[in-house]
Structure 1
Amino acid sequence: MANTNTQALSNLGVSIWLDDLSRTLISSGDLKKLADDKNVVGVTTNPTIFATALSDGTAYNEQVAELAKGGTGVDETVFEITTRDVHDACDVLRSVYDATNGLDGRVSIEVDPRLARDTDGTVEMAKQLWAKVDQPNVMIKIPATEEGLPAITAALAEGISINVTLIFSLERYRGVMNAFLAGLEQAKQAGKDLSKIRSVASFFVSRVDSEVDKRLDAIGSDEAKALKGKAGVANARLAYQAYEEVFSTPRWKSLADDGAHTQRPLWASTGVKDPAYPDTMYVVDLAVKDTVNTMPPKTLDAVADHGELAGDQVTGNYEDAAGVLDALDKLGVSYSDVVQVLETEGLQKFDKSWDELLGSVKSELEKAGATL
C-alpha cells in the first residue's frame, strides 16, 4: 500500500522522481519497492550519483572485468556501465510509463558534462545515449547553458525526449521553454510524432538559498535575516508562473493540437542544505499540479514520514514571490550575479564528479588487469 503522504503529493499532480540510482538499487528490488510503496514514478541520475554507486560495493566488478578483458578504455567503460543501469531502471519503471501514457516511468541520463559548452558535441552524445539505452522511457539530460539551448532544440527535433538540467534563472528558463517549442516545431516539420516526445525542465531550488543566504549573512541586518530561506521557493514559484504563461500561448496551442505535451517544470536540488529549515520545505512549499519533484532518498523518506501537505502552494503566491526578489534587490543582493555564480559552480561540480567517476573506473579497470 502506498504511503499516505506520498500518495497525497501524487494526488496533487506532483510526480515523485528519485534522485538516485545504482545497480544494487535495481537488482535488490528496492527501486520497484519505492515505486509500489512511495509513489516513485521516475529516476534522475548525474555524474555524482554514478561515482557514488561505483565506489559502493562490488556490483560493477563483473562488468568491469569483462570490459577490461576486451581492452575497453575508461570513457567507453563509463558509457557502458551507466547506460546499462539506466536501461535496466527503464525496464523496472516500464509499467509506470505504459500506465501513464509516457508521462512518467522516466529515467534520465546526462551527457558528458565536459560537453556543456559544446553544442554539436552535446547533440552527438545525446543521440548516442538515446540509441544505446534504446528504451522509450529514457530521457537525455542536457544542461541549460547558452550552448546547451540549441542542442536541446536539435535533440528534440530528432524525436529525443529531453530533461533540461541546471536551470537557475527565470530568464534562462524562458530560453529553455523557447528551445523546447522550437525543437517541437522542427520535429513537426520533419514528420515526427509529437505525442512521443517528452521533456522536463529542471529548475534548481536549494542551491539558490545557499548562495543568497550566504550574501544575506554578510549583510547581517534584521531585514536581511528575515529573508533567509525564501529565495529558492520564490524563484521556483515565479518559474511556474512563466510556465503557465508560455503554455497558454497560440504558439503552444498549435503544437498541442498536433499531440504535443507540455514541458513540465521539475524541482531539482530539493534536499534542504540548512538544518534550520524544515527538511520537506522544497516539496511542501512547491506542491502544484503538472510538476515533477526529484528527491534524494533522505528527502523522500522525510516526506513519507512527516510531509504535511497543504494543497497548491504555488499559484496563489506569485505576488509574494516577486516581493521576495524585489526585497533582495533592494538589499543589494544581485539576482543576475547569484544565478551566474550558481551555473558556473554547477558545471564545475559536475566536471569534478565526472573526473572522480573516470578515476574510479580507471582504478577498477587496472585492478581487473587492464593496461591503460
Structure 2
Amino acid sequence: PFDESYETIMRMARDNRAKGPNIMIKIPVTEEGLRAAGQCIREGMPVNATEVMSLRQAMDLCDVYDDAVKGMKNPPRVYLSHIAGIFDEYLAGAAAKSGLDIPSDHLFQAGKAVAKKIRAAMDDRATEVGFINGGARGLHHFTEWVGADISTTINWKGTAEDLVKLNPPVVSRFDCPVPARVVDSLMRMPDFAKAWLPEGIEPHEYEEYGPVVLFCSSFRKAWKSALERIGELRAARHP
C-alpha cells in the first residue's frame, strides 16, 4: 500500500473514483504524485494534493493545475493540504537533535510563516486551487489560522473537544505578521530554508524531505497496527 509510483496512484485513483461521483482523490505532492495529479485533473477527478510542506511544492501543484485545466469548461475541484503541524513537530525535533538554540516561540511560528507565504503566493497568481491546513498538533494550528482563506482540519480528541471547552474569543490572527527576526532565526535550519525559499527544494527531493517522511511514518505505523489487530481477531476466532 505504500507504493506511490505514478502507475499505482492512477490505478487506485480510477478504482476509487469508479465507486462514486463524490470521491476525491488524495495524492501526495511528490514528483510522481504531481504527474498523477495532473492526469487525474484532466480526467475530471477532484484532487486533494497532500504532504505539502514547502512553498515550492505548493507552487508546483498550482502549475500542474493550470496546465491540466487548459480548455476545460468545468474543471474539477482541487485542494492542496499544507501539513503545518507535522512541519512544526519535525523542526522542533530537528532543532533539539542538532543542538541549535532556536527559541520555542520561533519554532511555534514556523508552520504559520510558511502557510502565510504559500497563501500570499496563491493569491498573487489568483489560483482556483483551494487551501487546506492539516496535521494540527495543538490548538494554535487552528486558532492562528482564523481569518485566512483556508479550511483547517483538526481531530476531535485532544483538539476540537478542548476548543469547545475553552470557547475562546474569535480573533482573526492569520494576517498578523511573522517578525523578520523569527524568520532569520528559523533560516538557520536547512529544512526550514527548503520550505521557505521559492527554489529551496527540488521535486525529486519531496518524497524524502524530513517533514514528509515524518508524516508518512505515522500512516505506516497505523497500517502495521491495523494488520496486527486484524491478525489477533482472526486468531481469536480460529484458535
Q: TM-score range by the shorter chain?
A: 0.7 to 0.9
The answer on whether the counterparts of 2:53 and 2:83 sit within 8 Å (CA) in structure 1 is yes
Q: Is the 8 A contact 2:83 2:135 kept in 1?
A: yes
* Alpha carbons of structure 1 residues 220 and 149: separation in structure 2 relative to 1, 3 Å: closer
> Which residue number corresponds to residue 326 of structure 1?
184
Are residues 336 and 123 of structure 1, via their aligned partners in 2, closer, same or farther at CA, if it must alter by over 3 Å?
farther
Which runs of structure 1 show a deviation greater than 6 angstroms over 4 or more consecutive aligned residues? none
Deviates more, 1:346-355 or 1:288-297: 346-355
Q: 2:171 aligns with which of 310, 327, 330?
A: 310
Q: Alpha-carbon deviation of 1:367? A: 5.7
Per-residue deviation at 1:345?
A: 2.5
Q: Is the 8 A contact 1:216 1:224 kept in 2?
A: no
How many residues are treated as equivalent by the alignment? Answer: 223
Residue 345 in structure 1 maps to residue 235 in structure 2: no
Task: For residue 45 of structure 2, give the secondary structure of its aligned residue in structure 1.
Answer: coil
Q: Distance in 2 between matches of 1:166 and 1:231?
A: 16
Matched, 1:237 2:116: yes
Partner of 1:17: none
Instruction: Rate the CA distance shift 1:352–1:332 in 2: closer, same or farther, 3 A.
Output: closer
**Paired residues of 1:167 and 1:201 also in contact (CA < 8 A):** yes
1:149 maps to what in 2?
34
Identity %: 19
Q: Does 1:357 align with 2:226?
A: yes
Q: Which runs of 5+ in 1 are unaligned?
A: 1-111, 253-261, 273-279
SS at match of 1:200: strand
Q: Do the aligned residues in 1 keep the contact of 2:95 with 2:189 (CA within 8 Å)?
A: no
Is the 8 Å Cα contact of residues 212 and 333 (structure 1) preserved in structure 2? no
2: CA distance, partners of 1:296 / 1:126: 25
1:324 offset after TM fit, Å?
A: 3.0
Cα distance in 2, alignment partners of residues 321 and 212 from structure 1? 18
1:129 counterpart = 2:10: no
Partners of 2:179 and 2:156 lie apart in 1 by 28
Q: Secondary structure at the match of 2:108?
A: coil
Give the aligned partner of residue 212 of structure 1: 91
- Is 1:179 the counterpart of 2:61 in the alignment? no
TM-score between both structures, scaled by the size of structure 2: 0.80
Q: Which runs of 5+ in 2 are unaligned?
A: 196-205
CA RMSD of aligned residues (A): 2.7
Structure number, greater radius of gyration? 1
Specify which of 193, 198, 206 is matched with residue 74 of structure 2: 193
